[in-house]
Structure 1
Amino acid sequence: MSDTTLKATAAASGASATERFLSDKTGAPARTADSERVNTLATEVITAVHDVIRRHRVTYDEYNALKSWLISVGQDGEWPLFLDVWVEHVVEEVATAGRRGSKGTIEGPYYVPGAPVLPAVTVLPMRDDESGTPLLFQGQVTGVSGKPLAGAVLEMWQADDDGLYAQFAPGIPEWNLRGTVVADAEGRFGVTTVQPAPYQIPTDGSCGSLIAAAGWHPWRPAHLHLKVSAPGHEPLMTQLYFQGGEYVGDDVASAVKPELVVDPRPAGDGGHQVTYDFVLDPAS
């Protein structure tokens, strides 16, 4: 494991994720939410907490430990991490339940807009000495009718061979393994990258304390992140995982779906290749 890995702390990652969220998300939906809807949701969440306290006869020591932990989550800047790991997968499931096209999954805390625009056949930005198994990721974007979506846009981002993300760990070029790929007239694309590694969510902060106390593991399986979009269609947010990879069966974020597991095949350069087609629903 590299020196860079050792310097990627939970505090730094948490602070970066919080800062990114605050700069990218306007908060407008919360300000304009219907008060009756807020009342219903807030009341049911609080009532569910009350039910847990009663059923398990929670003590004051346990309550004060929870209070201390909630405070430390905020101080560590780990609310984006906590929510994205343990809550977002259910929000995504509900939000996309009616889709007929490709399956989606969580965005996670490491998306950054504005990655360099790249042609349909391209290489993701990477260091000259980027480690990892070469990977050719190719496919086509269509609508549910099967019609190719010319110029569809695929925003891609991923961890490197150390399980680290550019802009969230020190010492990595700004747009390393991040790009905005524009598909050709037939909706096709071919991206050369490296196969990412599984990674451990930061464990030296409050989320790590929860994981240790509960006896859970902190690992996410290796995956490619994608946001796929085309005019007149619902954007798709998804991740692709690798068959046989570690933690595919017990992802800490519960974000793996069978439809999102790909089977890498040997490529002529000693690397792997994966073909995956995306189907977008029409905009509602």
Structure 2
Amino acid sequence: MSDTSLKATAAASGASATERFLTDKIGTSAPTDTARVDILATEIITALHDVIRRHQVTYQEYDALKSWLISVGQDGEWPLFLDVWVEHVVEEVAHSTREGSKGTIEGPYYVPAAPELPSVATLPMRAGEPGTPLCFTGQVTDVSGEPLPAAVLEMWQADDEGLYSQFAPGVPEWNLRGSVTTDDEGRFAVTTVQPAPYQIPTDGSCGRLIAAAGWHAWRPAHLHLKVSAPGHESLTTQLYFRGGEHIGDDVASAVKAELVLEPKPTADGGTEAGYDFALAPSA
């Protein structure tokens, strides 16, 4: 990835993710349960107290923490921080008993209302879109294997430089984003390009934490999907690529063995990969 692209993405993505969250998610949460807030807040604060005592945290470290927490808000990076280091555990707990295909984190870069596409489609992309062509195929069924016609797959992904449309300057609005409707047998075939691994933004507060802790900032290449059908639970997931960089050390800890694709080369120099989704019935 070019230095210019990386810096531009890092500078813009925190504010964009915060704005998107405030637009799409505020007001959708369940009503506040005072007893629930009491127990969660008390245990979180108590756990922090235990860390301070166990590691003999100094005032210098405490002040550094206060400064960093303030800067996370100023940089607009709370969605990024929570989605990278916290969401995978929330997802694990929320869906621990769900039947069907495995899910994983949504991340901060989802945008609703992507262009609607038929079952055989090409994601919107620039003329001469860089990257290796990818044909992604599969079928959506219920947990018994019955096809789900007219299921919807919302797809979004980074491009060949690891950049997401609507979060990176200079990338067309709906680039590599689409909402695909399956055919009468629940099947789909989507032409796109293989995404690249990418660093989460590192020029803000999250980057300072990564540098201070000696961590890396990389996510493996992946496709994002939300799969839905009437009468069934929607599935949010990511699909990765066997042999890809950072499959084993994803900064967001979101990779699951069940979500790794086996891409195969095609005669035209591209790749193809298949994946079937099984949706659980609605409660």
- Quickly name the TM-score band, shorter chain normalised: over 0.9
Are residues 1:5 and 2:5 paired? Answer: yes
RMSD: 1.1
Q: Name the counterpart of 1:107.
A: 106
Following TM superposition, by how much is the alpha carbon of 1:190 offset from its aligned partner in structure 2, in angstroms? 0.2
1:247 corresponds to 2:246 = yes
Which position in structure 1 is the counterpart of 2:157?
158
2:120 corresponds to which residue?
121
Aligned to 1:138: 137
Rounded Cα–Cα distance in structure 1 between residues aligned with 2:35 and 2:282: 27
User: Which residue number corresponds to residue 148 of structure 2?
Assistant: 149
Is 1:74 the counterpart of 2:85? The answer is no
Q: CA deviation at 1:8?
A: 1.9
**1:157 is paired with a residue of what secondary structure?**
strand
Give 1:232-243 correspondences, 5 Å limit.
232-243=231-242
Q: Which amino acid aligns with 1:116?
A: P
Is the Cα–Cα contact under 8 Å of residues 120 and 189 in structure 1 kept in the other structure? yes
Query: Partner residue of 1:21?
Result: 21
Partners of 2:59 and 2:9 lie apart in 1 by 32
Rate the CA distance shift 1:135–1:53 in 2: closer, same or farther, 3 A.
Answer: same
* Structure 1, gaps ≥5 residues long: none
**CA–CA distance in structure 2, aligned partners of residues 3 and 57 of structure 1:** 39
Q: Which runs of 4+ in 1 moved over 4 A?
A: none
Report the counterpart of residue 213 of structure 1 in structure 2.
Answer: 212
CA distance in 2, matches of 1:222, 1:63: 36
**What is the Cα deviation at residue 6 of structure 1?**
4.2
Indicate the SS of the match to 1:8. helix
Gaps of 5+ in 2: none
Q: Percent identity?
A: 78
Q: Which amino acid aligns with 1:175?
A: W
1:126–1:177 contact (8 Å) kept in structure 2? yes
- Cα gap change, 1:155/1:14 in structure 2, threshold over 3 Å: closer, same or farther? same
C-alpha separation between the residues in 2 aligned to 1:163 and 1:69? 27
**Offset, 1:26:** 2.5
Cα contact 1:4–1:171 (8 A) shared by 2: no
Q: What is aligned with 1:50?
A: 49
Q: Output one character per residue of 1:19-57: Cα deviation in whole Å (capped at 9) or x when no partner.
A: 000000123426x12110010111110110000001001
What SS does the corresponding residue of 2:29 show, helix, strand or coil? helix
Pairs aligned (count): 283
Q: Contact conserved, 1:157 with 1:226, CA < 8 A, in 2?
A: yes
CA contact (8 A) 2:17 2:79 kept: yes
Contact residue 151 and residue 182 of structure 1 kept, 8 A: yes
Contact 2:9 2:163 in 1 (8 A): no
Task: Give how far 1:268 is off.
Answer: 2.3
Using the alignment, how far apart are the partners of 2:231 and 2:28 within structure 1? 24
Contact 1:10–1:203 under 8 Å retained in 2: yes
| Letter paired with 2:280 | D
Structure 1 length-normalised TM: 0.98
Query: Can you list the C-alpha shifts for 1:93-150, whole angstroms capped at 9, x where unaligned?
Result: 0000011200000000000000000000000000002000000000000000110000
Q: Which moved more, 1:7-16 or 1:208-217?
A: 7-16
